Amino acid sequence: MRSRLLRTVTASALTVSLAVAAAFPAAAAATPSAAWSGTEARRAQLQQLARKLVDAGAPGVIVRVDDGRGRPVEIAEQATWTRRDHLLKVGDEFRMGSNTKTMMATLVLQLVAEGKLALTDPVERWLPGKVPNGKAITLRMLLNHTSGLFDYTEDAAVRPSILGKDRRRWTPAELLAVGVKHDPLSAPGTEWSYSNTGYAAIGAVLERVTGRSLADLVRDRIARPLGLNHTYFATDSTWRGPHAHGYELDAAHMPPSVPAEFRHFAGARRNGHVDVSGNAPGWGGAAGAVVSTTQDWARFSTALTSGKLLPAAQLAQMRTTVPVDPRQPDGPGYGLGIQTGPTPCGTFWGHDGGMPGYLTTSVTDRTGSRTATVLISTEFWSEFGGAPKIAKAAQALQSAVICTMFGKPVPAAAHAG
């Protein structure tokens, strides 16, 4: 089994849906309490779960939930020892990790609507000679992870950047070259396999077709039109506004399950942790380099799923999914830069993202009228395991957040978490 750290731009595409499903044994039997109808009561429930997650070892947690019926619930909780670095606020910027893929897919589909690209285009057309068997790999396959390409984050050349020791500015072409020097994992279009290399190729195609950088495309086609003042494609470690600090355990405190080559992060030492928020995220590229806030991302999610950013035909293409697990054709699915999954409280659309110091889950309903985001300011626990208390508390919070977004009672299992 491949380690999730070796796909570190993303938390697994199954994370949200499986975590929610696992946390729901009592959901069907849960009944609304007398206080359920009040926003403050819902906020108190979620704040308690966020606090439990911090008590379990998470340095910080941000939650924003909008059920479309009134004022959003916004929560920020942090460990006492982190206050010397910053006071965590709901509006802080943070690294979105693989949520970036949703924006990249949006950019591609905008160009499809303009007649400048087609989902059936072979990658060879736009990147001649850059991708082996490129005539058989379409843009659609790159976007929905059926290209079969090896994941560049598994290559040792990228590891120093992941750990914050190499601050080079990776280009999409460079990241793509790292991935394609390995043999493919499967024939194009035959099976689903998460590949950040596919999105490195997408980034290179976007730059080739438009003649512009990914940072400019995100700014001019998405951030500025929507008024997203704290959303941008990061090429270095610079933050543009107040930001959440992200932490990972230092080498002495990491669980034994973490291999030696992944135990040493660059950054200032804090209370058995390393502050990794000054490390450059550029190695994430088109697969994971976007920075945003909970408010900005909610606005983006609403605009996208309500049809403001894409015509109906392209939005339908984005939502055309393939099963993440072929044994569960009606289970979690992956579309074009977006994932979906059923839960007892409703079917979500969205993505998740993992980058050292930042683990995010961002979801919405099909109409975009309901949105939710959870940030946990540490990510390594989700890669090699070894932090069962954090995992249990995170699962409980994510489950409760999704139910709150759908206007449903928080399941009894989440309260028990």
Span 216-255, pLDDT tens digits: 999 999 999 999 999 999 999 999 999 999 999 999 999 9
Is the torsion defined by CA of 172, 174, 180, 185 positive or negative? negative
- Any bridge partners for residue 342, and if so which? 347
Determine the pLDDT at residue 29.
31
CA triple 334-347-89, angle to 5 deg: 90
Active site residues per annotation: 98
pLDDT tens sequence across 89-115? 999 999 999 999 999 999 999 999 999
Output the six-digit token pair for 73.
């619930």
Residue 379, CA distances (Å) to 31, 113, 277, 388 in order: 33, 36, 12, 13
Determine the pLDDT at residue 409.
87
Rounded-to-integer distance, Cα 211 and Cα 190, Å: 32
Output the six-digit token pair for 212.
């512009």
What structural domains does the chain harbor? 5-416 (3.40.710.10)
Determine the pLDDT at residue 141.
98
Determine the pLDDT at residue 329.
87
Residue ranges of the chain whose pLDDT lies below 70: 1-38, 411-417
Cβ contact 112:25 at 8 Å: no
Rounded-to-integer distance, Cα 213 and Cα 69, Å: 38
Determine the pLDDT at residue 33.
42
Burial of 323 (0-12, 13-18, 19+ CB in 10 A): middle
Residues with Cβ < 8 Å from 96, sequence gap 6 or more?
288, 290, 291, 292, 297, 353, 358, 360, 362
Percent share of the chain, pLDDT over 90: 82
Helix/strand/coil percentages in the chain, nearest 5: 40, 15, 45
DSSP class of residue 183 equals P
Residue 308 in 3-state DSSP?
Answer: coil
Residues with Cβ < 8 Å from 294, sequence gap 6 or more?
62, 63, 64, 74, 90, 91, 373, 375
Determine the pLDDT at residue 4.
33
Nearest to 322 by CA among 311, 313, 314, 330: 330
Residue 280, CA distances (Å) to 60, 103, 176, 262, 277 in order: 20, 20, 18, 17, 8
Rounded-to-integer distance, Cα 191 and Cα 239, Å: 38
Burial of 269 (0-12, 13-18, 19+ CB in 10 A): exposed
Output the six-digit token pair for 35.
């206080």
φ, ψ (nearest 5 deg) of residue 63: -130, 135
Determine the pLDDT at residue 5.
26
Determine the pLDDT at residue 413.
60
pLDDT tens sequence across 8-58? 333 333 344 444 443 433 333 333 444 345 678 889 999 999 999 999 999
HEC states along 119-171?
CCCEHHHHCCCCCCCCCCCEHHHHHCCCCCCCCHHHCHHHHHHHCCCCCCCCC
Burial of 385 (0-12, 13-18, 19+ CB in 10 A): middle
CA triple 361-201-359, angle to 5 deg: 15
